[in-house]
Every structure is written in structure tokens, then in C-alpha cells.
Amino acid sequence: MRRRALHVCSCVSCPAHQGSCPKLVAKGRCPRCKQQAEIARGSRQDRGYDADHDRLRRKWERRFEAREEIDCHAITCLMPLRRIAAEAPWDLGHTPDRTAWTGPEHRLCNRSAGGKAAHG
């Protein structure tokens, strides 16, 4: 059996938490830093994922369930103007200031853009 290498909790290299944790972990953050990061994110409603978001997501889900392919509307899409296959994972994207929904985006495109914005 191969042992996983340990590394320092990723909070040490994260600009938002720099130098906060010297613990060794197999992957990502230690449990304490992971919990603190989740609290700092706020609830899904705090982040703008409210009833309007849920309604719009359900509307798009019905189209995907009908096996339609949908254009990726991501502003900073890694696969610009490519279609999202009906069975592919997707997120409902929003503008950078979170004031409006932009439509379905490839999950990878949406989440990498969010990560870059948070740690840019």
C-alpha cells in the first residue's frame, strides 16, 4: 500500500488565510481551517443563491432533462460558445457582481472563474 505524502494545510499559501495553520494534512485544509473557511463563506443565501436562483435553475434543469444541449453562457468560459451536453455537470452562472444570472455554464468553467476571482 502506497502512503500519501503530507503537506502543510493549504491555508498557509492562501492569501485570505496566509500563515494561519502549520498543520500537516494529506490533502487541502485541516478540519479546523476547513470549518472556518466554510463559516467565512456564509450561507448560500448570503452568497446570492436565493429562491429566484432556485426557480431559474429548475427552469434550466427541465430543459436538460428533456435532453437538450444548451449553449454555455459563461462570461469567462474555458470552452467559449461550446454546448453543454444534457448529461454534463453544470452550474447556473452569475455576473461578477452577483446582480444577475447569466445562464448555464460548464461546471468547470463556472467554478474555476469563481476560484480565480476569490484568489486573484
Give residue limits of the domains in the chain: 7-41, 51-119
The reported pLDDT for the residue numbered 119 is 59
Q: Grid coordinates standing for 10?
A: 493549504
Q: What is the pLDDT of residues 67-116, one digit of tens each?
A: 766 666 655 455 556 777 777 888 888 888 888 888 888 888 888 766 66
pLDDT (mean) for 35-57: 84
Cβ-count burial 18-53 (b if 16+ within 10 Å, e if not):
eeebeeebeeebbeebeebbeeeeeeeeeeeeeeeb
What distance in Å separates the CA atoms of residue 115 and residue 50, rounded to the nearest whole number? Answer: 21
Q: Under a CB-based contact definition with an 8 Å cutoff, are residues 9 and 32 in contact?
A: no
| pTM, entire model | 0.56
What distance in Å separates the CA atoms of residue 62 and residue 46, rounded to the nearest whole number? Answer: 26
